């Protein structure tokens, strides 16, 4: 479904600020895969997301979705089949527009926008029934400006907007990180429910190890622009935070020794 | 007095179309577009040239719309494809348009006094209806002896401006219009919903300057001439109309906001007319008065809300003191 092959990306190449952000990334997601991505700050997790979504273009390598190579496709074209939720609850919605208008924008994702009204009777009742699945009472506030909603409500709405048109791929970029624990749990549960029901192929970045273990069928760990760990299936189910940290130290420790050997 | 206020309202309704254009760029797209100073004249120039060459007045006005659309679209292209800062794109376009406008007109002023314009035709048709005589005698009977020559221009322009307003209201609620609004509100978000924000900005600025040019074309026909310098300060007048209207009427919904802008444009003209009547002010002071007016419209509402807030807190404090006393 989603395939990244030999992706490399360097910022400010051949200057003092040179930074290798991705180094030969290869990743293949099957349809319905739910992959969680962990790693420290600067490991390249968000960059992978941006390369998939098209807001960054790799120096070399290919991105293909559903068998079509999309490497050169700009973000707005790719977003026809990619749903995305950002870390900042303010980022995924338009604050001065109403809830139903925001939903109408998401609704038009897969078609050409025309001079037909964005919100009509049929769509309004569809929006209402979709919003009801969130259990936040938003279905009774269709004409409220989104800027007046709380962060948790906005993030729930963003999640709904990203998924209710059934995109091919869902990208979640630390989408619970800015919320308080109870709201984060709400969004996590919603994510679990939505992904399960729609069988979306999902890539989720998180800093929360427990969340990375609880969600999804596959876990990837990144460090210094590389994928250093890729665990799925039964092995992933048996994973604990301790094991994960231990594994990280084992791999990186080895590398450290290798580096020493080279330098020495 | 009554006549000069009447004339202020009349021209205010024509300027309101320009203000709706400024609203589209400044508020909806969040793009401070200075092209307006140039595209207003472009509209006037294209219409004046076409009319004096014998084109029908409606065609001439539509041609002005097209010319304005192209000018605005070019500003959009400078900004999106050329990655030039919004303010600078507008300034560059405005400066360039000055020369282009002179080229269109061939001279710095085209008189239309001897031509049939939209308004001369309109007044001719209107006077046959006999409504003016009725209104005049009504006004005479309440003690006004100097009455406007015709009500036709005002009434027809009100209808035209409101039709434009209603079309704009509808457009901003269509799928395309929603995407345009989201572009000004949260560009990253709308891009992640498969909208080409570059194209939307070009379209939005084109429509905005199209409206500005129509306003210029109508104003030239109303005033009876097109002048190379008639656009100077137009953007500030547009902003003044938007800001005054919004603070008087409010911005709760799109429909209300566009109404606010029409009202703002008329109020602006009336205030200017009244200011001109003050014995110690002359025409040269008008720009300063415009600036002061805009500043006042921006600051006064804040002072009022601030004042209300202080009052509310004071009441709360008194309540608390009372309660503490009661407990003690």
- Closest chain B residue to the Cα of A170, Cα to Cα: B192
**What number is the average pLDDT over the span B86-94?**
96
CB A36 within 8 A of CB A188: no
Retrieve residue B5's tokens: 């206020």
Distance from C-alpha of B242 to C-alpha of B251, rounded to nearest angstrom: 10
Out of A26-30, A114-118, B135-139, B203-207, pick the least confident.
B135-139
The DSSP bridge pattern shows strands A19-29 and A2-11 to be: antiparallel
Give pLDDT tens digits for A75-114: 999 999 899 999 898 899 999 999 999 999 999 988 889 9
Nearest chain A residue to B192 by CA distance is: A79
Q: Is the pLDDT of residue A189 over 60?
A: yes
Q: What are B252's two structure tokens?
A: 């709760």
Q: Could you give the count of Cα atoms lying within 13 Å of B105 in the half-sphere of its Cβ?
A: 25
- Least Cα distance to B193 among A110, A10, A190 occurs for A110
Q: What is the pLDDT of residues B103-157, one digit of tens each?
A: 999 999 999 988 888 888 888 888 888 777 778 777 878 777 777 778 888 998 9
Indicate the pLDDT class of residue A261, thresholds 50, 70 and 90: low
pLDDT of amino acid A240? 85
Judged against a pLDDT cut of 80, whether residue A259 lies above it is answered with no
CB contact under 8 A, B171 and A118: no
Confidence at residue A228, expressed as pLDDT on a 0 to 100 scale? 87
Chain B residue with CA closest to A90: the answer is: B186
Asked if A77 and B194 touch (Cβ cutoff 8 Å), the reply is: yes
Pairs across A and B, CB distance < 8 A: 86
When CB atoms are compared, the residue of B175, B191, B192 closest to A113 is B175
Given this model, what pLDDT does residue A256 score? Answer: 57
Residue A209: the pLDDT is 85
What digits encode the pLDDT tens for the residues A104-161?
Answer: 999 998 888 999 999 999 999 999 999 998 889 999 999 999 999 999 999 999 999 9
Q: What is the pLDDT of residue A238?
A: 83
Alpha helices by DSSP H, A17-70 = 45-53
Asked if residue A263 has pLDDT above 60, the reply is no
Q: Smallest Cα–Cα separation from A103: which of A149, A60, A70?
A: A149
CA–centroid distance for B307 within its chain: 31
The residue among A113, A114, A119 with the most chain B CBs within 10 A of its CB, best to mutate, is: A113
Minimum-distance CB partner of B182 among A53, A97, A119: A97
Q: List the single residue in A with minimal CA-CA distance to B183.
A: A94
Share of residues in chain B with pLDDT > 70 (%): 100
Whether A257 has a pLDDT exceeding 70, the answer reads no
| Mean per-residue pLDDT, A68-76 | 91
- 43-82 of A, contacting B, C-beta below 8 A: 53, 55, 75-77, 79-80, 82
Nearest CA in chain B to A158: B189
Tell me which of A105, A121, A170 to substitute to probe the interface with B (most B C-beta atoms closer than 10 Å). Answer: A105
- CA B215 to each of CA A98, B16, B160, B161, B211: distance values in angstroms, whole numbers, following the listed order: 31, 8, 11, 10, 6
Q: Do A105 and B182 touch (CB under 8 A)?
A: yes
Partner residue opposite A117 with nearest CB, options B174, B181, B188: B174
């Amino acid at each position: 479904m989603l395939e990244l092959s030999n992706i490399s990306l360097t910022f400010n190449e051949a200057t003092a600020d040179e930074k290798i952000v991705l180094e030969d990334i290869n990743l293949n997601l099957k349809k319905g895969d739910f992959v969680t991505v962990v790693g420290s700050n600067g490991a390249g997790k968000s960059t992978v997301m941006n390369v998939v979504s098209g807001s960054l273009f790799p120096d070399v390598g290919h991105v293909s979705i559903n068998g079509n190579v999309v490497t050169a496709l700009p973000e707005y074209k790719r977003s026809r089949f990619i749903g995305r939720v950002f870390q900042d609850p303010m980022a995924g919605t338009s604050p001065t527009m109403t809830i139903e208008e925001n939903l109408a924008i998401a609704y038009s994702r897969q078609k050409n926008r025309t001079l037909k009204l964005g919100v009509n009777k049929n769509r309004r009742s569809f929006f209402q029934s979709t919003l009801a699945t969130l259990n936040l009472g938003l279905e009774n506030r269709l004409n409220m400006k989104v800027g007046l909603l709380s962060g948790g409500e906005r993030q729930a709405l963003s999640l709904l907007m990203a998924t209710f048109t059934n995109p091919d791929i869902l990208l979640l970029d630390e989408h619970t990180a800015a919320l308080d624990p109870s709201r984060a749990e709400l969004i996590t549960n919603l994510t679990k429910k939505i992904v399960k029901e729609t069988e979306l192929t999902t890539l989720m970045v998180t800093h929360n190890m427990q969340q990375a273990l609880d969600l999804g069928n596959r876990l990837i760990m990144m460090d210094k622009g590389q994928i250093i760990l890729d665990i799925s299936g039964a092995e992933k189910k048996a994973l604990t935070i301790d094991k994960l940290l231990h594994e990280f130290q084992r791999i990186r420790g080895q590398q450290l020794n290798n580096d020493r050997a080279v330098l020495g | 007095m009554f006549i000069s206020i009447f004339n202020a309202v009349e021209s205010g309704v024509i300027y309101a179309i320009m203000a709706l254009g400024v609203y589209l760029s400044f508020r909806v797209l969040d793009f401070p577009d200075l092209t307006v100073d140039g595209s207003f004249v472009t509209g006037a120039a294209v219409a004046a040239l076409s009319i004096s060459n014998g084109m029908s007045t409606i065609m001439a006005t539509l041609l002005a719309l097209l010319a304005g659309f192209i000018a605005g679209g070019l500003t959009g292209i400078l900004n999106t494809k050329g990655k030039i800062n919004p303010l600078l794109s507008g300034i560059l376009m405005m400066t360039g348009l000055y020369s282009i406008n002179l080229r269109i007109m061939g001279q710095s002023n085209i008189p239309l006094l001897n031509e049939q314009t939209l308004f001369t035709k309109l007044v001719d048709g209107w006077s046959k209806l006999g409504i003016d005589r009725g209104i005049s005698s009504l006004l005479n009977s309440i003690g006004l002896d100097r009455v406007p020559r015709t009500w036709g221009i005002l009434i027809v322009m009100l209808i035209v401006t409101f039709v434009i307003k209603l079309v704009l209201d509808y457009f901003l609620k269509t799928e395309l219009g929603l995407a345009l609004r989201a572009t000004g509100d949260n560009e990253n978000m709308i891009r992640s919903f498969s909208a080409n924000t570059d194209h939307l900005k070009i379209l939005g600025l084109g429509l905005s300057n199209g409206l500005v040019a129509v306003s210029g074309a109508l104003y030239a026909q109303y005033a009876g001439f097109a002048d190379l310098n008639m656009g100077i300060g137009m953007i500030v007048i547009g902003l003044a109309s938007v800001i005054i209207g919004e603070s008087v009427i409010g911005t709760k919904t799109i429909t209300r906001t566009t109404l606010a802008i029409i009202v703002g444009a008329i109020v602006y003209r009336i205030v200017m007319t009244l200011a001109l009547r003050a014995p110690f002010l002359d025409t040269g002071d008008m720009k300063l008065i415009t600036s002061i007016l805009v500043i006042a419209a921006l600051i006064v509402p804040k002072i009022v809300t601030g004042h209300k807030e202080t009052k509310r807190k004071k009441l709360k404090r008194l309540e608390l003191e009372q309660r503490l006393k009661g407990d003690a």
